[in-house]
Amino acid sequence: MAPGTSGGSLVVVANRLPVERVGGRHEAGWRTSPGGLVTALAPVLERNGGTWIGWSGTDERLQPFSAEGFNLVPVSLSHADLADYYEGFSNATLWPLYHDVTGRPVFERRWWDAYVRVNQRFADVTAAACAGGATVWVQDYQLQLVPAMLRRARPDLRIGWFNHIPFPGYEIYSRLPWRRQVIEGLLGADLLGFQRRDDAANFLRAARGHAAVVTRGSVVEVGGRQLRVGAFPISIDARALDELASTQSTLDRARQLRADLGHPRVVLLGVDRLDYTKGILHRLRAYGELLDEGDLKPPEAVLVQVATPSRERVEEYQRLRDEVEGVVGRINGDHGRVGQAAVHYLHRSFPREEMAALYLTADVMLVTPLRDGMNLVAKEYVACRHDERGALVLSEFTGAADELRQAFLINPWDIDGTKEAIRRAAHQSPAAAARRMRAMRRRVFEDDVHHWAATFLGALEMVAEGR
């Protein structure tokens, strides 16, 4: 099959391709794109084949090409698109609004115009790339208008959409000046998927309130057609990660990391995109107080905080970086010694092998988002711990908390509660740790990302057949 065409197989449409272009035009290469969407979907397409339509991370106009067993169709974004559609409407309006206003959403009419324009471009590229009757799976908040635009151009397609982030409650969503248009864009799909039941219920309420549609349970009536809305909690390729974490080289690397850290009794770990939804400052505050009060004492305890650079031109992200780096500096100034930092702060991306070794090194994994659609880091940690050791401290405001009930669940706004959970996690007995980890591993291995994709696509087929 020629690159960029789909003969009835799956077509994924996401803001980003699974790989992004790095380096200058003449020495350009590719690396894995950041974030959970790519972590989850790449193994699905690698296994099943298909086409992936998305932005290449640059303003270059690239031709469709094949890599990693699937076809990639790049969509180019100009500097203005990047500023207004990506950094503006997607990440300074929708992202904070949909994450319960943990950041302040900015409403700019120019950004909305760009969002409509770029969504139309994605729909046009998709309409041209799809064979008759193809299944199209649109991803995430950046592309909410694509389902209706695509249906207008290609009524023969099966269209699903999945939201990787939360869908907010009615009062918060209602602030959006373009709330009706966004809902009408989504209503073009046959199936709308959300992470949690609450997200699906929030959407249904918004659809009734702002697009005057009739809903019956999870079914929405639109123009004589039925559309289904449901919860499909996303996951990871647990087996692949478990295998990676079991290789001799990963085990050796984990031992080396522990030695490099000075053989502490307790290694705490945070792994996040540097995003204000992740609760990094709240976590640092709790850790800093535990050090101040002598509950944890470097060099016996040490925190490794991996913070992947993210959306670096958006103002709130710049402010967050300054604050996080200020607090890390303060904690190290107060509690570090020469050659013995209290916080090891790493602001860059790492290969999967290194991430697996880090997870194996961590006695206490800190996942403390103020709001998160799912949080795959929590599931990755569990998938790597074939030794049934380690403890997961997990915010109840993540989708993952619905499934990983044996974690030390916390409210990240409650600093004392978080400190208590960290203390308990650091001191639990090996038998208790194994019991918790076994139960969490069972869940992550049963409901892996292949199960998620099969469930979503199975439901999409049923809805589209009944159309």
Using CB under 6 A as the binding rule, the residues of this chain from 285 to 344 that contact ligand ADP are 306, 308
Q: How many alpha carbons lie under 13 Å from residue 434 in its C-beta half-sphere?
A: 4
CB of 161 to ligand G6P, least distance (A): 13
- Given the complex with ligand ADP, which of 190 and 237 has the nearer CB atom? 237
Picked from ligand G6P, ligand ADP, none, the partner binding residue 306 (CB below 5 to 8 A depending on kind) is ligand ADP
Tell me: does residue 350 bind ligand ADP (CB under 6 A).
yes
- Given the complex with ligand ADP, which of 273 and 335 has the nearer CB atom? 273
- Given the complex with ligand ADP, which of 81 and 140 has the nearer CB atom? 140
With contact defined as beta carbons under 8 Å apart, do 51 and 2 qualify?
Answer: no
Q: Give CA–CA dist 359/376, Å, rounded.
A: 13
Per annotation, catalytic residue among 99, 164, 282, 450: 164
Q: Strands, DSSP E only, in 277-424?
A: 301-308, 343-346, 364-367, 391-395, 408-410
Helix axes 280-292, 315-335, angle to 10 degrees: 10
Token pair, residue 402, equals: 């619905």
Instruction: Determine how many CB atoms are found less than 10 A away from the CB of residue 258.
Output: 18
With contact defined as beta carbons under 8 Å apart, do 187 and 222 qualify?
Answer: yes
10 Å CB burial of residue 423 (0-12, 13-18, 19+) is middle
84 counts as catalytic: no
Q: Give CA–CA dist 85/117, Å, rounded.
A: 9
Q: Which long-range contacts (CB under 8 A, 24 or more apart) does 204-209 make?
A: 204/229, 205/170, 206/167, 206/170, 206/173, 206/174, 206/179, 207/183, 209/170, 209/174
Instruction: Determine how many CB atoms are found less than 10 A away from the CB of residue 458.
Output: 9
Q: Give CA–CA dist 59/81, Å, rounded.
A: 9
427 counts as catalytic: no
Tell me: does residue 273 bind ligand ADP (CB under 6 A).
yes
Tell me: does residue 183 bind ligand ADP (CB under 6 A).
no
Give CA separation, 455 vs 71, 450, 461, in Å: 23, 8, 10
Token pair, residue 256, equals: 């080396």
- Given the complex with ligand G6P, which of 215 and 308 has the nearer CB atom? 308
Tell me: does residue 380 bind ligand ADP (CB under 6 A).
yes
Tell me: does residue 412 bind ligand ADP (CB under 6 A).
no
Site size for ligand ADP, by CB under 6 A? Answer: 15
Q: Which residues bind ligand G6P (CB under 6 A)?
A: 15-16, 34-37, 140, 164-165, 310-311
Tell me: does residue 46 bind ligand ADP (CB under 6 A).
no
Picked from ligand G6P, ligand ADP, none, the partner binding residue 350 (CB below 5 to 8 A depending on kind) is ligand ADP
CB of 311 to ligand ADP, least distance (A): 11
Tell me: does residue 374 bind ligand ADP (CB under 6 A).
yes
- Given the complex with ligand G6P, which of 37 and 401 has the nearer CB atom? 37
Cα torsion through 37, 276, 278, 41, rounded to 10: 0
DSSP annotation of 89 reads I
Q: What are the counts of helices (DSSP H) followed by strands (DSSP E) for the chain?
A: 18, 18
Picked from ligand ADP, ligand G6P, none, the partner binding residue 140 (CB below 5 to 8 A depending on kind) is ligand G6P
- Given the complex with ligand ADP, which of 187 and 400 has the nearer CB atom? 400
Cα torsion through 354, 355, 356, 361, rounded to 10: 90
**Euclidean distance between the first and the last CA atom of the chain, given in angstroms as a whole number:** 29
Q: CB under 6 A: which stretch of 46-54, 72-80, 141-149, 376-384 binds ligand ADP? A: 376-384
Contact with ligand ADP (CB under 6 A): which of 129, 227, 377, 382? 377
Picked from ligand ADP, ligand G6P, none, the partner binding residue 215 (CB below 5 to 8 A depending on kind) is none
CB of 41 to ligand ADP, least distance (A): 11
- Given the complex with ligand G6P, which of 332 and 349 has the nearer CB atom? 349
Per annotation, catalytic residue among 242, 372, 447, 448: 372
Token pair, residue 34, equals: 């950041």
- Strand duo 225-231 + 191-194: pairing: parallel
CB of 234 to ligand ADP, least distance (A): 8
Q: CB under 6 A: which stretch of 112-120, 249-257, 330-338, 368-376 binds ligand ADP? A: 368-376
CB of 14 to ligand G6P, least distance (A): 7
CB of 260 to ligand G6P, least distance (A): 29
- Active-site residues, by number, are 164, 372
Return residues touching ligand ADP (CB under 6 A). Answer: 35-36, 39, 271, 273, 306, 308, 349-350, 355, 374-377, 380
